[in-house]
Structure 1
Amino acid sequence: MSAKKSSSPRHSAVVLRESLSRLNRSLRSALPPIGATPSQLGVLGYLFRHGELTPTELAQQAGVRLQTLTRLLALIEAEGWATRHADVTDGRRQRLRLTTAGARLLTTYVHQREASLEASIAASLSTDEQRTLLEACALMDRLSARLQAAPASAEADPS
């Protein structure tokens, strides 16, 4: 592999995406089942971070169609992880709210993931490598901010 190819933005994007995917898969497989799917946990995470949302707002935040989200919301509500109530400003609209049980489930899951990562970092990385990892996290945060600020620029060129 040439130095030019290994330092190109395209190559960096591919390697980063693959690494993040591998890390997420490894985290999921390393943890015991928690009783919720990754999609359900994602919805609970949006509600945790953004507070009450309408189903339409939630679909927009998650980047999915409302029809796709409808069944998932029904399952989440049936489990008691979120509830619906009428919007105080427009009673025709429904708002979703994370319940205590949903917050507890999400918190447990996040703490398990963090503990798994912590153990892996402690066993695998030197102090210097841990500092490098934190620097890489700062770079990923910059990339994330850029993608959120200009989503159209993140679209891939099909050619």
Structure 2
Amino acid sequence: MAKLSVIGRLYRTGPMTPTELAQREGVMPQSLTRLLAELEADGWLARKADAADGRRSLLRLTRSGARRLVTAVQAGEASLAEIIDARLNPQQRALLLEACALLDDIAGVLDPAAAAARRE
């Protein structure tokens, strides 16, 4: 789940330093060191020097990583849609849709930047 969270964060917000990423994920930078190395080795992430400060590096999702993420999300959404369709009646589906809208509102308060990215 931590890998998916990091990948999703970079997908939504774009390149950032490991320190910025750790802050947004609510963890210590040292906690991400191994995870970032694994994601980089697996081709999900790329690291380059920050043009504004050569001592820092910027992490970004690779094209391959973005494609893999989109494919995984689409597969998960399709599976979830099938389950919802098979298990819930129309009234329950309407209630679930209302609940999702409320959760989106709450998420927008917690992370305004992510909410703005979803609206684009």
* Alignment match of 2:55 (pick from 64, 71, 92): 92
Determine if the alignment matches structure 1 residue 102 to structure 2 residue 65.
yes
**1:145–1:48 distance in 2 versus 1, CA, 3 Å:** same
Q: Report the alpha carbon displacement of residue 142 of structure 1 after superposing the two structures with TM.
A: 2.5
Looking at structure 2, the residues matched to 128 and 122 of structure 1 have their Cα atoms a distance apart, in angstroms, of 12
Looking at structure 2, the residues matched to 61 and 86 of structure 1 have their Cα atoms a distance apart, in angstroms, of 20
Q: Report the alpha carbon displacement of residue 139 of structure 1 after superposing the two structures with TM.
A: 1.5
Looking at structure 2, the residues matched to 47 and 145 of structure 1 have their Cα atoms a distance apart, in angstroms, of 17
Determine if the alignment matches structure 1 residue 81 to structure 2 residue 44.
yes
Looking at structure 1, the residues matched to 107 and 21 of structure 2 have their Cα atoms a distance apart, in angstroms, of 19
Looking at structure 2, the residues matched to 142 and 46 of structure 1 have their Cα atoms a distance apart, in angstroms, of 18
**1:147–1:47 distance in 2 versus 1, CA, 3 Å:** closer
Stretches of structure 2 lacking an aligned partner (at least 5 in a row): 113-120
**Number of paired residues?**
112
Looking at structure 1, the residues matched to 28 and 72 of structure 2 have their Cα atoms a distance apart, in angstroms, of 26
Q: What percentage of aligned pairs have identical amino acids?
A: 53
Aligned to 1:70: 33
Looking at structure 2, the residues matched to 118 and 96 of structure 1 have their Cα atoms a distance apart, in angstroms, of 33
Looking at structure 2, the residues matched to 95 and 146 of structure 1 have their Cα atoms a distance apart, in angstroms, of 27
Instruction: Give 1 or 2 for the bigger CA radius of gyration.
Output: 1
CA offset digits 1:52-110 (Å, max 9, x no partner): 01000100111111000011000011111111101111111100010011112211211
Q: Report the alpha carbon displacement of residue 148 of structure 1 after superposing the two structures with TM.
A: 4.3
Name the structure, 1 or 2, with higher relative contact order (CA <8 Å, separation 6+).
2
Aligned to 1:129: 92
Secondary structure at the counterpart of residue 89 of structure 1: coil
Give the TM-score normalised by the residue count of structure 1: 0.66
Give the TM-score normalised by the residue count of structure 2: 0.86
Aligned-pair Cα RMSD in Å = 1.4
Looking at structure 1, the residues matched to 111 and 45 of structure 2 have their Cα atoms a distance apart, in angstroms, of 26
Q: Which amino acid aligns with 2:38?
A: L
Q: Which amino acid aligns with 2:81?
A: E
